[in-house]
Structure 1
Amino acid sequence: MNEYILSLINTLSESHSLTLEQYRTLIDARCVATAALLAEKAAAVRKSIYGNNVYVRGLIEVSNICKNDCLYCGIRRSNRNCDRYRLSKEQIMECAAEGYRLGFRTFVLQGGEDSYYTDDVLCDIVTDIKSHYPDCAVTLSMGERSRESYASLRRAGADRYLLRHETADKVHYESLHPAEMSFDNRMRCLHGLRELGYQVGCGFMVGSPNQTAETLAEDLKFIEEFKPDMCGIGPFVPHKDTPFRDHPAGTVELTCYLLSIIRLIHPPVLLPATTALGTIHPEGREMGIQSGANVVMPNLSPVSVRKKYELYDNKICTGEESAQCKDCLSARMESVGYRVVTDRGDIKK
């Protein structure tokens, strides 16, 4: 590792900021020694804020019906091989009840952009969850909606909203999405969520088609400036029924490298070790935690639908019951010196 790269890492650790060109240089400089130093610094920063705690979120995948046709996604509108489903309110409440019994204190309702979930339907579900479990946080990840919709859901009790920006480069965004989807609208949604008082999560794929060190540098600069409460990044994993079926997957090494950088950019950020990491490497989630992540998201969805929510091929944990899924992740975290804790896990600012 040369002196200039070392100076960039030290600058990032101290000021939490680099220029676009410096971020690109740091990405290009990835090697075993650089990754090890970044992971060491990121783990120390995370430990100073959160100790060895890993926060657990109960993921409920409410629907794989989506109006969008994103080129990378297995539940894209034009995939006729997708076995579609939608959970009823009763099924969602059963998932939440099981999760609460298991110790979950955050529920993440995630789904495609399904028109069934109007404001009235979704507000009713959020209100009911908050009424039954007032000590829990409700996180929504239901795509782009109007500002009025976000405001209604916030009034109903939603605490957090996850909306991955996918890429902070407009040209790159347009190469991953159909023409009717707008980079500018995605950014408007993220800023609107922040203005409405949500804890906001963004994020991007690592290794997506057409991605370069320059586009990744733009992602890092966006995170530096936006300062999300949560940031979900994971490797791109191709799906057999999409236009990107033959594109190579992202790597666990680059994903973990970027997790470490993001931890140094925004020290208190809530940073998941994603299921996609565990899909491309048997110890991917553990490696993510060791690189600075501090969130895991076991699946609370009914086992009967888990294989149907297939954003990418070979998704793991599709056959386990909720208790098995949580216990497995807890054991995995303990194996690398961390412990899963059961509380809301709000960002510490």
Structure 2
Amino acid sequence: MYNVPADFINETKVWETLEQNKNPEPAQLKEVLAKAAEMKGLNLADVAVLTSISDPEMLGELFNTANTVKETIYGKRLVLFVPLYISNLCANECLYCAFRATNKEIDRHALSQEHIARETEVLINQGHKRVLLVAGESYPKKGFDYVLESIRSVYSVKNEHGEIRRVNINVAPLAVDEFKQLKAEGIGTYQIFQETYHRETYQKVHVGGKKRDYNWRVWALHRAMEAGIDDVGIGVLFGLFDYRFEIMAMMQHIFELEDKFGVGPHTISVPRMEPATNSDMASHPPFPVSDIDFRKIVAILRLAVPYTGIIMSTRETAKMRRDTFALGVSQISAGSKTNPGGYEEANEISGQFSLGDHRPLDEVIRDVASMGYIPSFCTACYRMGRTGQDFMDLAKPGDIRLHCAPNGLSSFKEYLQNYASSETREIGDQLIRETIAGMSGIAKQRAEKLVNRVEAGRDDVYC
């Protein structure tokens, strides 16, 4: 099944739908935005209509609707995580990536398990609780077992500052039995990007290695979900092809997962191409995405799949990241390094791509809190089994906020109490007081109870 063409990505239908909806009347635009405000998702034609918006007034309405939907579902909560690159070995030849196999301008390195443990300890001491484990698509002698051992190494590190409570994974596509092994290690989300859904472009930019197989990659999430991993993440590398096509094709992928497994992706990542060592393509994207179109992408995805998390990485500048919080972003990385071993000490090993936001975790948290957003390190849903369909069953009627809001506040309080600078602690404590004062009912009772427990010296409290 998983080596056949993925006919659920129907390029002809994408182009036809875009053509049919390229010049919508203002009334049609408003109708789609009104539908989006109901938070029940959008179909392919609706998404095509929104991609056509260019009028500043209608862009404002798009952004305002996205903000309303985001805050209705997520409130002011922003989940934080950090990528942990364990290796830049790679057998693929992706023209936009510094890790590509033939690139002689970077040093290659795969961290030992001892080094992974030391990197993990640095992240724990900074206050991180969520890690995204990332590796190039080739491993040392142990092969895939290297990834499994690396997960164990991260989870094994515990000190007076705590531990990493959830490891998410971004590694090469796997077979079903390998995905089952991954699940057995207690991972959170399995994440993989198709990079581009446009088949011709895909072949042009992936010129060597197993990644050339479009079908093997696009079926990866089917295999993961068949193996029992019900939290999966998808994404597109914007800049490789027309962003309108990419959004539409990604929606087809989402609809396919919903149809086959009853639930779509847990997260969508929206990386935009950034310069990478010895890659002319990375510095000169074939289809560059302007800042305004990038904001449009985030807003459209928030309206199209309202209950799916949208991830913004440190590829983007601090300003762009701030701008997208109100448009739909619900998860951000902070204090990131994209080179193996980059956290323990500065090294000369090249990163996968250039970063736009180099600020340390504490500075990011202070900035986020100053804007009125609650930085959350919560991992409760993974640990309480609220994943996949169970998560959506709570999210769609709004019940998940009875857990997310209190848990976000308690995990933020834990950070402030154990890791934050005095300036960040002052801003954060005030925000927590103001946020709880504005809550009501069960959510307020839970938040007060959990925050009080943290203040009394308890860590890792959640509901």
Residue aligning to 2:167: 138
Distance 1:7 1:110 in 2: 41
- When residues 303 and 130 of structure 1 are mapped into structure 2, their CA distance, relative to the original with a 3 A threshold, is closer
Which deviates more, 228-237 or 135-144?
A: 135-144
Match of residue 9 from structure 1? 33
> Residue 225 of structure 2 corresponds to which residue in structure 1?
194
Counterpart in 1 of 2:452? none
User: Aligned equivalents of 1:345 and 1:165: distance in 2?
Assistant: 29
Task: Please name the residue that 2:269 is paired with.
Answer: 232
**Structure 1 residues 288-328: Cα deviation after superposition (integer angstroms, max 9, x where no partner):** 2121101111226426467734333x42456xxxxx61112
Q: 1:206 aligns to what SS in structure 2?
A: coil
> How far apart are residue 231 of structure 1 and its match?
0.8
Residues 84 and 132, structure 2, Cα contact 8 Å, conserved in 1:
yes
Deviation per CA, 1:75-116, whole angstroms, max 9, x where unpaired? Answer: 111211122222221222122223233332211111211221
Contact 2:42 2:305 in 1 (8 A): no
SS in 2 for 1:115: coil
Counterpart secondary structure, 1:236: coil
Classify the secondary structure of the residue corresponding to 1:178. Answer: strand
Asked if residue 46 in structure 1 is aligned to residue 70 in structure 2, the reply is yes
* Greater length-normalized contact order (CA 8 Å, ≥ 6 residues apart): 1
Residue aligning to 2:9: none
Deviation per residue, 1:230-256 (Å, 9 max, x gap): 111121224362251433643332222
2:351 matched residue in structure 1: 310
Return the letter of the residue paired with 1:185: W
SS in 2 for 1:253: helix
Distance 2:111 2:280 in 1: 28
Task: Give the aligned partner of residue 159 of structure 1.
Answer: 188
Cα shift at 1:147 = 2.6
| TM-score normalized with structure 1 length | 0.86
Q: Please give the secondary structure, in 1, of the residue aligned with 2:179.
A: helix
Alpha-carbon contact 1:168-1:218 (below 8 Å) kept: yes
1:258 alignment counterpart: 297
1:98-109 matches, within 5 Å, as 98-109=122-133
Identify which of 27, 31, 34 aligns with 2:58.
34
Q: Is the 8 A contact 1:206 1:233 kept in 2?
A: yes
In percent, how many aligned pairs have the same letter? Answer: 19
Shift of residue 203 of structure 1?
0.2
Equivalent residue, structure 2, for 1:321: none
Q: Does 1:329 align with 2:364?
A: yes
Aligned partner of 1:289 in structure 2 is: 325
Match of 1:126 in 2: 151
Question: Cα distance, 1:224 vs. partner?
Answer: 4.5
| Residue 363 of structure 2 is aligned to residue 338 of structure 1 | no
Q: Equivalent residue for 1:150? A: 179
Take 2:357 and 2:299, find their aligned partners in 1: how far apart are those partners? Answer: 25
Alignment counterpart, residue 284 of structure 2, candidates 246, 253, 272: 246
Query: Residue type of the partner of 1:170?
Result: R
Partner of 2:434: none
Q: Is the 8 A contact 2:310 2:329 kept in 1?
A: yes
**Partners of 1:239 and 1:167 in 2: how far apart?**
18
Query: Which structure has the greater CA radius of gyration?
Result: 2
Of stretches 295-304 and 153-162 in structure 1, the one that deviates more from structure 2 is 295-304
Does structure 1 retain, via aligned residues, the 8 Å contact 2:168–2:188? yes
Determine if contact 2:116/2:153 at 8 Å carries over to the other structure.
no
State the distance in 2 between where 1:232 and 1:46 align: 16
Partner of 2:279: helix, strand, or coil?
A: coil
User: Cα distance 1:10–1:296, how it changes in 2: closer, same or farther (>3 A)?
Assistant: same
Equivalent positions of 1:211-222 (< 5 A) are: 211=242, 213-222=244-253
The answer on whether the counterparts of 2:91 and 2:100 sit within 8 Å (CA) in structure 1 is: yes
Tell me how far apart the structure 2 counterparts of residues 90 and 190 of structure 1 sit (CA, whole Å).
31
Query: Match for 2:214: what amino acid?
Result: F
Distance 1:148 1:286, change over 3 A: same
Report how far residue 345 of structure 1 moved.
Answer: 6.7
Preserved contact between residue 64 and residue 111 of structure 1 (Cα < 8 Å): yes
Q: What TM-score, normalized to structure 2?
A: 0.66
Aligned partner of 2:454 in structure 1 is: none
Task: State the partner residue of 2:439.
Answer: none
Q: Is this contact kept in 1: 2:113–2:153, CA < 8 A?
A: no
Alpha-carbon offset, residue 132 of structure 1: 4.5
Alpha-carbon offset, residue 55 of structure 1: 0.6
Report the residue type matching 2:292 in the other structure.
E
Distance 2:201 2:380 in 1: 33
Amino acid at match of 2:186: G
Q: Which residue identity is paired with 2:302?
A: R
CA distance in 2, matches of 1:255, 1:334: 24
Aligned letter for 1:115?
Y
Root mean square deviation of aligned Cα: 2.6
Written as runs of structure 1 = structure 2, the 5 A alignment for 1:269-288 is: 269-278=308-317, 282-288=318-324
Equivalent position to 1:169, from 198, 205, 219: 198
| Stretch deviating more after TM superposition (57-66 or 116-125) | 116-125
Does the CA-based 8 Å contact 1:61-1:110 persist in structure 2?
yes
1:293 partner SS = coil
- Alpha-carbon offset, residue 258 of structure 1: 1.3
Q: Which residue of 1 aligns with 2:461?
A: none
